[in-house]
A = this chain, B = another copy of it.
Amino acid sequence: MLAYFGPRGTFTEQAARGFATPQQELVPFDTVPAALTATRRGETEAACVPVENSVEGAVPATMDALTEGEPLVAVAEAVLPVRFSVLRRPGGGPVRTVASHPHALAQVRHWLAEHLPDAEVVATTSTSAAARAVLNGDFDAAVSAPVAVRHYPLEVMATDVADVRDAKTRFLLFRRPGPLPEPTGHDRTSVVCTAADRVGALADLLAELALRGINLTRIESRPTKDRLGEYRFYIDLDGHAAEPRVGDALAGLHRHCQHIRFLGSYPKAEPGGVPAGNDAFVSAAGWVADIREGRGA
């Protein structure tokens, strides 16, 4: 079973479908923490949750839920373009009302102004709740994730609807800690670090990456809720923990942090290889081993 942040028919389900094996049952959960807890308890094998620019929110909830409780590690990543489908009842009349999550409505304002200028806009708790409400006859059209039509027998009025063409939303698949996915040469590693709230704390952490030629792909700070005077940093970097230089850098972060949690090494969803650059680390480690053994100088 694969848990995901529900309800059915949202972008998160769409990402979860991409992760699931054909036999794997997909189970929606009401909240991100609930999906992660089910996986921690072994009730589901994995959990798919949004981690960046989610249409329906919940990203801060994801980050907090990953930092608290038993550790989980990401094993796969998905990046979906934020493009909506507009759905209506087959053979319905004119569209007088159009429903969706407020964030989705905000992302299709221009489209609605052009194509359904007279329709009243109505909020729902999710993009999928809008599709269900259209099916129930509450509203005439829904702005939904493309996957919604799998669940609701609605007619697709339009696809690929988005005012901003390049908006994307990112998901990770989490499991309980175990063997890491094999390195592929285009991997990403995620960690969350807690550092003292002192001048230069983050500069020290990032120097550990820069010194080893490791590219940072995302950083976000968040004050810790429970302990004052501490900062938490979510860091994504290029490379896999199995690589010598990434292992060295993680050890460097560990030395500088009051607390560090590994959130996984997994193949990047989008193209973009990571320059190898491990040879120098391997030969340097060999040299140190040699001088320690009296085999060189």
Contact in complex: A207, B203 (CB < 8 Å): yes
Query: What class of interface size applies to chain A in its complex with B?
Result: 35 or more
In the assembled complex, the CB of A29 is this many whole angstroms from the nearest CB of chain B, namely: 13
Summarize A's interface: helix, strand, loop or mixed.
mixed
B-facing residues in A185-243 (Cβ within 8 Å) = 197-200, 202-204, 206-207, 209-210, 213-216, 218-221, 225, 233
A81 to B223, CA, bound (A): 15
The residue in A61, A125, A209 that gathers the most chain B C-beta atoms within 10 A of its C-beta is A125
Contacts of A61 in B (CB 8 A): 106
A62 touches B (CB below 8 Å): no
Contact in complex: A219, B220 (CB < 8 Å): yes
Given that A101-B102, A123-B123, A125-B102 are contacting pairs, would A225 and B166 also be in contact in the complex, using a CB cutoff of 8 Å? yes
Contact in complex: B106, A58 (CB < 8 Å): yes
A85 to B61, CA, bound (A): 22
Contact in complex: B215, A210 (CB < 8 Å): no
A199 interface neighbour in B202, B210, B220, Cβ under 8 Å? B210
Contact in complex: B215, A206 (CB < 8 Å): no
A105 touches B (CB below 8 Å): yes
A102 interface neighbour in B102, B106, B220, Cβ under 8 Å? B102
User: In the complex, what residue of chain B is closest to A121 when comparing beta carbons?
Assistant: B125
A210 to B205, CA, bound (A): 12
User: In the complex, what residue of chain B is closest to A105 when comparing beta carbons?
Assistant: B125
Contacts of A125 in B (CB 8 A): 102, 105, 121-123
Contacts of A207 in B (CB 8 A): 203, 207
List 5 contacting pairs A-B, 8 Å CB cutoff, sorted by A: A31-B109, A202-B216, A204-B210, A206-B206, A219-B233
Contacts of A216 in B (CB 8 A): 202, 221
In the A-B complex, list the 6 residue pairs whose CB atoms are closest, starting with the nearest: A200-B210, A203-B210, A203-B206, A123-B125, A123-B123, A102-B125
